[in-house]
Amino acid sequence: MPPHPQMALVQALLVRALVARFWDEPYAGPLVRWGTELHDRFLLPWWVQADIADVVDDLREHGHAFEHEWLEPFLAFRFPRIGVVHVDGITLELRDAIEPWHVLAEELGAGTSRYVDSSLERLQVRVDGLTATRHAVTCNGILVPLTPTATPGTFVAGVRFRAWQPPSALHPTIGVHAPLVFDVVDQWSGRSLGGCTYHVVHPGGRSYETFPVNANEAEARRASRFSAGGHTPGPIEPVDHRRDGEYPRTLDLRRVPAPARPARAQTP
């Protein structure tokens, strides 16, 4: 639901404009079967914004004076910016994306409803000014599958990760991937030029006991979870796990094998 009455009015106006558009000229073209692109592409704010822009252009072509700027608050509300860092002429932006949560099966207990696995989150990585043959972006040492866009020099990808470990989850053996460390890697020198770190919770491990008193405190809490630093020092060898043909734009950290733990020495 929109958080403000003005946004609710714009939402109602969009629905009425669509009804009027299709009432005069019903859509008779073939439907597109997107398949896995619904999860791989249209859960990221870059392509959601492009899709909404096409809808607005179609309304304007059919005589409905609808403006693109009217829907910008919806995008900013649903896909808030996490943080931006500038590294050697390259801009790296992190933004929240959509992640569907699965309803689990019935479990023994006194609950009246089934659990929802809300431990997975997704964010969008946008890079501007990147040279594809030289630079790469990694998340926790794993190559991010950057996809070129219609804008030259702009690449976008999604990162899916486990944010916290609930008592009941879809994959209980997969641990938490946060914090996420992003590096802009110069593949010619084999070193990280810089990067940023994203924490799902307070970076100091604190647990807030009260709700924020106003929007400014809530914004300060979100801002403290992003740090324009913490990149990987020294030589770096990115690991390539881009083998998923169904989701070429998404790095799913659940599919990355966990690093092997050293064997524990036996005491005599």
Segment 57-95, tens digit of pLDDT? 999 988 888 899 999 999 988 999 999 999 888 899 999
Higher pLDDT, 263 or 188: 188
Q: What is the mean pLDDT of residues 127-154?
A: 89
Residue 262 located in a structural domain: no
Provide the domain count of the chain: 2
The answer to the question of residue 261 being in a domain is: no
- Answer whether residue 127 is part of any domain: yes
Q: Which of 93, 238, 113 is nearest to 168 (CA)?
A: 113
pLDDT of 179 strictly over 80: yes
**Least confident stretch, 23-27, 136-140, 176-180, 243-247:** 243-247
Q: Which of 98, 103, 117 is nearest to 160 (CA)?
A: 98
pLDDT in tens, 3-54: 888 889 999 999 999 999 999 888 888 888 988 888 888 999 999 999 999 9
Instruction: Confirm whether 211 is domain-assigned.
Output: yes
With contact defined as beta carbons under 8 Å apart, do 146 and 131 qualify? no
For residues 148-172, give the mean pLDDT.
88
Collapsing DSSP to helix, strand or coil, 76 comes out as helix
What's at 153, amino acid-wise?
G
Please give the pLDDT value at position 109.
63
Kindly tell me if the per-residue pLDDT of 156 is higher than 90: yes
**Residue 20 and residue 88 in one domain:** no
Kindly state whether residues 127 and 205 are assigned to the same domain.
Answer: yes
Q: CA 245, CA 99: separation in Å to the nearest integer? A: 19
Mean pLDDT, the chain, integer: 85
The parent domain of residue 237 ranges over 81-255
90 and 148 belong to one structural domain: yes
- Among 55, 79, 103, residue at a domain's last position: 79
Q: In what order do the strands lie in the sheet with 226-227?
A: 142-143, 135-139, 180-186, 191-198, 226-227
Domain boundary among 28, 51, 79: 79
